[in-house]
């Protein structure tokens, strides 16, 4: 089935508008999920919109979403194509009101993400990529531009990491490869900074979920990047450590986990 990525970009923008409607309120309700992570009305509103739109366009493709995660492995283990959705990636950043949160939509085929869309509503920036077709970035109201992980190879080695999570292992890794500089940003935007060359690598030590990474991996790889340590539709949807990096930056360095 042919997937129209422009329609997915439109869905992501619509979900972003739903999120901003709640983000702009003076106060919004915050719940706590079973894993102690926060949940807002914005998560729910975005989830419902994306689920409705995707189901209408592609009724035969199942959806795995953070807010609809309770699908038994026995029911999904034989899926060869499915959506992986994070309706609001970076809920902590949403609550802090720093704008660094995203809508993530990815298509996974044979347990590998092949298409991804990431929209940052406050930043009004959209990223998308598809295997074999490259990756792009667009600020609302401006023309889209192609992006590449190797856009700024002559710059000093720049890493990117989480604003809300950090580990000693990540700092040790940066020292090992001689990276003295690091950007911090929330949500899947870390993948996007590698995809457009603003950062040369993103190493994450510690847990994430499949919906945190699928869209970002698709975009980074479409932009020419290399992603190691991730797999999809596992029985346990928790990810281990992973690395996202440019392809040509300092190849003599052991860019390994």
Q: State the Cα angle at 158 between 155 and 162, rounded to 5°.
A: 155
Q: What share of the chain is helix, strand, coil (3-state, %, to 5)?
A: 30, 30, 40
Domain boundary pick from 147, 169, 192: 147
Residue 250 lies in a domain: no
Per-block mean pLDDT, blocks of 10 residues, the chain (257 long): 94 97 79 60 93 98 90 95 96 89 98 98 98 97 96 85 78 82 92 96 92 98 95 96 80 52
pLDDT at 252: 45
pLDDT at 41: 85
pLDDT at 17: 97
Domain harbouring 182, CATH code: 3.40.190.80
pTM: 0.93
Burial of 41 (0-12, 13-18, 19+ CB in 10 A): middle
Largest CA distance in the chain: 52
Residue 251 lies in a domain: no
Residues 132 and 17 occupy one common structural domain: yes
Residues 124 and 82 occupy one common structural domain: yes
pLDDT at 248: 67
Show the domain range for 194. Answer: 158-245
Residues 47 and 168 occupy one common structural domain: no
pLDDT at 255: 52
Domain boundary pick from 91, 113, 147: 147
Query: How many domains are contained in the chain?
Result: 2
Q: List Cβ neighbours of 153 (8 Å cut-off, separation of 6 or more).
A: 197, 246, 248, 249
Residues 105 and 204 occupy one common structural domain: no
Domain harbouring 130, CATH code: 3.30.540.10
Cα–Cα distance, 60 to 36 (Å, whole number): 33
Look at residues 3, 243, 255, 2 and name the one whose alpha carbon lies nearest to residue 128.
3
Q: Is the distance from CB of 20 to CB of 121 less than 8 angstroms?
A: yes
Residue 15 lies in a domain: yes
Residue 253 lies in a domain: no
């Amino acid at each position: 089935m042919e997937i129209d990525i422009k329609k997915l970009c439109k869905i992501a923008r619509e979900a972003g508008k739903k999120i901003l409607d709640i983000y702009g309120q003076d106060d919004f309700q915050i719940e706590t999920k079973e894993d102690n992570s926060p949940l807002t009305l914005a998560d729910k509103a975005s989830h419902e919109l994306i689920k409705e739109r995707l189901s209408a366009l592609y009724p035969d493709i199942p959806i795995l979403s953070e807010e609809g995660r309770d699908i038994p492995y026995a029911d999904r283990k034989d899926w060869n194509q499915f959506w992986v959705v994070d309706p609001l990636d970076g809920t902590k950043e949403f609550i802090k009101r720093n704008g660094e949160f995203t809508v993530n939509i990815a298509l996974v085929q044979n347990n590998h993400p092949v298409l991804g869309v990431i929209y940052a509503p406050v930043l009004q920036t959209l990223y998308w990529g598809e295997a074999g077709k490259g990756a792009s970035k667009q600020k609302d109201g401006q023309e889209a531009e192609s992006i590449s992980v190797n856009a700024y190879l002559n710059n000093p080695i720049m890493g990117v990491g989480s604003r809300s999570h950090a580990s000693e292992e990540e700092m040790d890794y940066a020292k090992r490869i001689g990276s003295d500089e690091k950007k911090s940003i929330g949500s899947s935007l870390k993948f996007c900074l590698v995809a457009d060359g603003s950062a040369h690598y993103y190493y994450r030590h510690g847990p994430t979920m499949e919906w945190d990474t699928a869209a970002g991996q698709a975009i980074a790889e479409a932009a020419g990047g290399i992603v190691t340590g991730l797999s999809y539709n596992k029985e346990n949807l928790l990810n281990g450590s992973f690395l996202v990096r440019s392809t040509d930056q300092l190849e003599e360095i052991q860019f390994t986990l």
